[in-house]
């Protein structure tokens, strides 16, 4: 055993400089291990989007060479991009972890969830009962989510350990104080928490980390040619029904990419020639619109996110 570090320099902080990405990584690993230790039945919410892919990567840092002490959980809206589902399945196979898929359609068929009325039905709302059903079915007491505080104003005030009642509801006025790196996960039967290990990351941090760690992400994030229609001033991808063009909409082929990957029915594409991670990082640095600006589900009203969170949305 040899010592490779000169102990005379051990007091010099600069010698052991820790970049902000490594500091954020360390925080996320700590949070994941804390949940593993404090809860009986956690699960990691996995959507196939970049944030949840980063979460899986962080879980590998926290628990390898052992398996994750929890499964991955995908709330499948049935409105996914086919590319995202392919990616999900390949990733799960490569890392050899357990994936649970809970389908919104099954809950709609049972009459527990329902489609939104209106001309552009989104399945955002239908995700809520589906998620709660998964929690009940598998008796999950903690769910990891990839939400970040920079995404939206209501999130900026949410704790890393976010408590929910039996109905999955968030009470913003009654949050536990969260100090230092001490997380209080004590809960009653039936209560569960949402845990956000990358709360303190920004969109830029996520992209930089993906680049630094060479993390594979779906092709949807890179520039490609795609058929879109212009709807509410945004480029909406078209595909097989129910994602076809509506009356009066003209399909055009554009060079686009997605900054965020949600449902096909509510994720807009942006014009972009960015075909590498370096291009994307440069684009994010110059961007003048927020990431959630491409999510039509947040545009309904000013407090849209806060309302949905109170109802049990992530």
Partner 1 sequence: MTSNTTESDLSTSAGANQGMEFSTDAYLDMDLLRFLTCGSVDDGKSTLIGRLLYDSKSIFEDQLEAAESASLSRGDQRMDLALLTDGLRAEREQGITIDVAYRYFATPKRKFIIADCPGHVQYTRNMVTGASTANLALILIDARHGVIEQTRRHSFITSLLRIPHLVVCVNKMDLVDWSQETYEKIRSDFEEFAARFEINDITFVPMSALTGDNVVNRSTNMEWYQGPSLLHHLENVHIAGDRDMIDPRFPVQWVVRPQGDEHHDYRGYGGQVASGVFQIGDEVVALPSGLESTIKSIDIGGVEQQYATPPQSVSIQLEDDIDLSRGDMLCRPNNQATSGQNIDAMVVWMAEQPMVVGKKYTIRHTSNEVRCVIKDLRYRMDIETLHRVEDASDLKLNEIGRVSLRTTRPLFFDPYRQCRATGSFIIVDEQTNNTVGAAMIVGETS
What is the footprint of partner 1 within residues 262-291 (CB under 8 A)?
278, 281, 285-290
Three-class DSSP category at 127 = helix
| Both structure tokens of 74 | 């995908």
What is the closest distance, in whole angstroms, from the C-beta atom of residue 147 to partner 1 in the complex?
Answer: 12
As measured in angstroms, the least distance from the Cβ of 230 to partner 1 is 17
Which tokens sit at 144?
A: 């990891």
* CB of residue 216 to partner 1, shortest distance in Å: 16
Q: For residues 222 and 243, which CB has a smaller minimum distance to partner 1 in the complex? A: 222
CB of 26 or CB of 251, closer to partner 1: 26
CA–CA gap between residue 50 and residue 34 (Å, rounded) = 23
Q: Is 29 in the site for partner 1 (CB under 8 A)?
A: yes
Binding mask 219-258 for partner 1 (x = CB under 8 A): ----------------------------------------
Region of 78-86, 221-229, 231-239, 299-307 interacting with partner 1 (CB under 8 A): 299-307
Q: Which one of residues 154, 195, 274, 296 is an interface residue with partner 1 (CB under 8 A)?
A: 154
Is residue 98 near partner 1 by the rule CB under 8 A?
no
Q: How far is the CB of 263 from partner 1 (least distance, A)?
A: 20
* Three-state secondary structure of 225-264: EEEEEEECCEEEECCCCCCCCCCCCCCEEEEEECCCCCCC
Kindly report the backbone phi and psi dihedral angles of residue 59, in degrees, each rounded to the nearest multiple of 5, phi listed first: -65, -35
Distance, CA of 139 to CA of 135 (rounded, Å):
5
Q: How far is the CB of 154 from partner 1 (least distance, A)?
A: 5
Compute how many other C-beta atoms are within 10 angstroms of the C-beta atom of residue 161: 22
Q: How far apart are CA 230 and CA 138, in angstroms?
A: 41
Q: Per-residue contact track with partner 1, 41 to 70, x per CB under 8 A?
A: -------------------xxxxxxxx---
d(CA 226, CA 269): 9
186 forms bridges with which residues in the sheet?
A: none
Kind and range of the H or E element at 101? strand 99-103
Which of 41, 211, 254, 255 binds partner 1 (CB under 8 A)? It is: 211
Stretch that binds partner 1, among 70-78, 113-121, 137-145, 151-159 (CB under 8 A): 151-159
Residue 50 and residue 222: Cα distance in Å, rounded?
A: 12
Does 13 interact with partner 1 (rule: CB under 8 A)?
A: yes
Count of positions on this chain that bind partner 1 (CB under 8 A): 80
């Amino acid at each position: 055993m040899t010592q490779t570090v000169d102990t005379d320099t051990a007091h010099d902080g600069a010698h052991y400089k820790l970049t902000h990405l490594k500091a954020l990584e360390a925080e996320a690993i700590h949070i994941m291990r804390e949940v593993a230790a404090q809860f009986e039945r956690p699960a990691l919410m996995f959507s196939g989007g970049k944030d949840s892919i980063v979460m899986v990567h962080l879980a590998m840092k926290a628990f390898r060479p052992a398996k994750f002490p929890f499964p991955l959980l995908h709330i499948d809206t049935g409105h996914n991009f086919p590319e995202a589902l392919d990616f999900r399945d390949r990733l799960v196979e490569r890392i050899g972890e357990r994936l649970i898929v809970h389908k919104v359609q099954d809950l709609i068929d049972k009459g527990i969830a329902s489609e939104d009325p209106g001309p552009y039905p989104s399945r955002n709302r239908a995700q809520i009962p589906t998620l709660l059903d998964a929690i009940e079915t598998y008796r999950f007491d903690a769910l990891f989510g990839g939400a970040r505080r920079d995404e939206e104003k209501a999130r900026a005030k949410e704790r890393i350990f976010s408590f929910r009642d039996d109905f999955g509801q968030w009470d913003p006025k009654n949050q536990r104080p969260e100090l230092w790196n001490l997380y209080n996960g004590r809960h009653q039967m039936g209560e569960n928490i949402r845990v956000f290990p990358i709360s303190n990351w920004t969109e830029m941090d996520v992209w930089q980390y993906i680049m630094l760690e060479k993390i594979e992400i779906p092709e949807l994030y890179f520039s490609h040619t795609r058929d879109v229609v212009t709807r509410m001033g945004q480029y909406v991808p078209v595909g097989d029904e129910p994602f076809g063009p509506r009356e009066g909409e003209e399909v055009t082929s554009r060079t686009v990419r997605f900054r965020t990957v949600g449902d096909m029915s509510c994720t807009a594409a942006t014009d972009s020639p960015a075909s590498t991670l370096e291009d994307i990082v440069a684009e994010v640095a110059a961007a003048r619109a927020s990431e959630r600006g491409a999510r039509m589900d947040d545009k309904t009203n000013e407090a849209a996110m806060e309302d949905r969170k109170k109802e049990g949305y992530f």
